[in-house]
Structure 1
Amino acid sequence: MRYFIELSYDGTDFHGWQTQPNGITVQECLDKALTTCFRQNIISLGCGRTDAGVHATQFYAHFDVVDLPEATVTNSVTNINSLLPYTIAVKRIFAVGDEAHARFGATARAYRYHLHFEKDPFKINRSWLYKGELNFDKMNQAAQLLLNFTDFSCFSKSKTQTFTNNCKITKASFEKIDGGLIFTIKADRFLRNMVRAIVGTLILVGKRDIEIEEVEQIIESKNRSNAGQSVPACGLYLVAIEYPFISN
């Protein structure tokens, strides 16, 4: 039977979500805990791949279990959490159809990027300390231009395994918070490094290094070297994933 698992994690000490040979990952820790708990080899598949240092307040993965009662699996949240590091927390487990897929079944995803302007020891690894002034209104105007495009090759890492760089962005905006800003972006899918590259480019607008209209030219160029630098991973959070068969 197939199950979805909802979790959250602090990505500071992890080399991203996906298991890899050169560092500890969230998936590695989760699979080890699931395998131990259910006493069978479990390999989960996540809703996406967050990079090293990126956090998730909501993340879904699916996994399959053989010959165990549904209640045994869905009521195992406490046991699984006891097997995980404190920086990973399972929220719930629930049964889904055999064809349900954590990655390909998602219809929308949302990220938030946090930045602050004054040194704060309690925001280390949680937000990016930006030293300088930014034009909030210009950045928001530039962010709205993203909704007019679908090909975001200029914001993608090169040599990725994606078949298309098309994404449909439905929301992109900054909001002011006490001592900082939060950028929220929602789309049907995201490319590798896309959000951090977008924020880096909008920062150039806020610094007045480029004009709002130049953002359109950067997108139309489809060239990563024309966009801004990627901002640090510490400020990025995956905050929501939507599925037609899940009510949040």
Structure 2
Amino acid sequence: MNYYLLTISYDGSELHGWAKQNNLLTAQGELEKSFVAIFKSNLFHTLGASKTDAGVHARNQKVFLQTEFRFNHRLIARDINSRINKNIFVKSIVEISPDFLVRNCKQKTYRYYLSTNEYDPLKRRYYHFLKFEFNKFKFEESLKLFVGLHDFRNFSGLKKNEYDNYNLERKIDHINIISEDDNNHYIEFKAKGFLRYQIRKIIGTCIAYNNNTITLEDIKKSLSINGEKMKFIADPSGLLLYDIIY
């Protein structure tokens, strides 16, 4: 067996997420189709480090590739990029040891981009356009509630019948708001891992607090395992898998 690590980027606007699905356009599905076309073989296995959702982008997604054949990994990226869907780009391929665990990373960094500018259709794929005034103090006030170790069941896309299949506790190491200018901002999350829709649920909740739809006490109550699931979820267009560190 031969083992490789790919670093890829993609614009997720037209993709139904990372994981391959029958009859749907996905990053993993398109990557595997290009492998079959080039290698004339399906004797390979791929595994992504992070299962990005439909509409979510990636700057440095990591992909484990196991093959029953060897290839010149230094040259093959150009061939893949000439064939693959133009929303996806293979940045690099390196050989790795068989015991490398692509999902056992030290930290993942996600960024969520917000804009208070007038709606711009040329940027709609990459920003969430706020309809209300951006109150940085209120965002920071609500975001800090999520830092540290919490049971995030009420801030996930998991259903109750899925709870037993997951560790519902996640430790968020860092959340920070960076303002690019007066009207454009991104919120950076750093953690070893996240639950399905977790970041988008957190952002949606903070937007609701920013808009005075809910209170801080509502958020605290929902963070309790006895609380109710928050119904707010932010649009996927603003979310970017920025980096993964091993």
Q: Provide the TM-score with structure 2 as the length reference.
A: 0.90
Partner of 2:211: 207
Amino acid at match of 2:177: F
How does 1:73-222 map onto structure 2 within 5 Å? 73-103=73-103, 105-117=104-116, 118-159=118-159, 160=162, 162-178=165-181, 179-221=183-225
- Native 8 Å contact 1:151 1:222 kept in 2: no
Distance 1:25 1:67 in 2: 25
Counterpart residue identity of residue 106, structure 1: C
Q: Is the 8 A contact 2:45 2:65 kept in 1?
A: yes
CA drift at 1:11: 0.5
Distance 1:7 1:223, change over 3 A: farther
Report the equivalent of 1:246. Answer: none
Report the Cα offset of residue 222 of structure 1: 5.4
CA change 1:157–1:224 in 2 (3 A) is farther
SS in 2 for 1:239: strand
Aligned length: 239
Given that 1:57 and 1:240 are in contact with CA atoms closer than 8 Å, whether structure 2 keeps it comes out as yes
CA distance in 2, matches of 1:222, 1:23: 37
For the 8 Å contact 2:134–2:210, the answer to whether it is kept is: yes
Amino acid aligned to 1:216: K
TM-score, structure 1 as length reference: 0.90
**1:156–1:224: 8 Å Cα contact kept in structure 2?**
no
CA contact (8 A) 1:113 1:235 kept: yes
Give the whole-Å Cα distance in 2 for the aligned partners of 1:85 and 1:28.
Answer: 10
Deviations 1:202-245, CA, capped at 9 Å, x for gaps: 112212233334422221145553x24111111111111111xx
Rounded to whole Å, the distance in 2 between the matches of 1:2 and 1:223 is: 45
Letter of the aligned partner of 1:176 in structure 2?
A: S
The sequence identity of aligned pairs, in percent, is 30
Equivalent residue, structure 1, for 2:69: 67
- CA contact under 8 A between 1:155 and 1:224: conserved in structure 2? no
Q: Distance in 2 between matches of 1:146 and 1:153?
A: 12
8 Å Cα contact 2:208-2:232 kept in structure 1: no
2:14 is matched with 13
In structure 2, C-alpha distance between the alignment counterparts of 1:224 and 1:84, rounded to whole Å = 43
Do the aligned partners of 1:147 and 1:171 also contact (CA within 8 Å) in 2? yes
Deviates more, 1:208-217 or 1:27-36: 208-217
CA RMSD of aligned residues (A): 1.7
1:74 and 1:155 map into 2 onto residues whose CA distance is 42
Shift, 1:128, TM fit? 1.2
Q: Which amino acid aligns with 1:62?
A: F
Distance 1:141 1:91, change over 3 A: same
Confirm or deny: 8 A CA contact 2:221 2:227 kept in the other structure. no
Query: Which SS does the other structure have where 2:151 is aligned?
Result: coil
1:50 is matched with which residue? Answer: 52
Higher share in strand: 2
One-letter amino acid of the counterpart of residue 209, structure 1: T
CA contact (8 A) 1:198 1:228 kept: no
SS in 1 for 2:14: coil
**1:185-212 CA deviation, whole Å, 9 max, x = no partner?**
1111100000000001111221223333
Q: How far 1:145 moved relative to its partner?
A: 1.8
Which stretch shifts more, 4-13 or 119-128? 119-128
How far is the alpha carbon of 1:122 from its aligned partner?
Answer: 2.0
- For structure 1, the residue ranges without an aligned partner over 5 or more in a row are 244-248
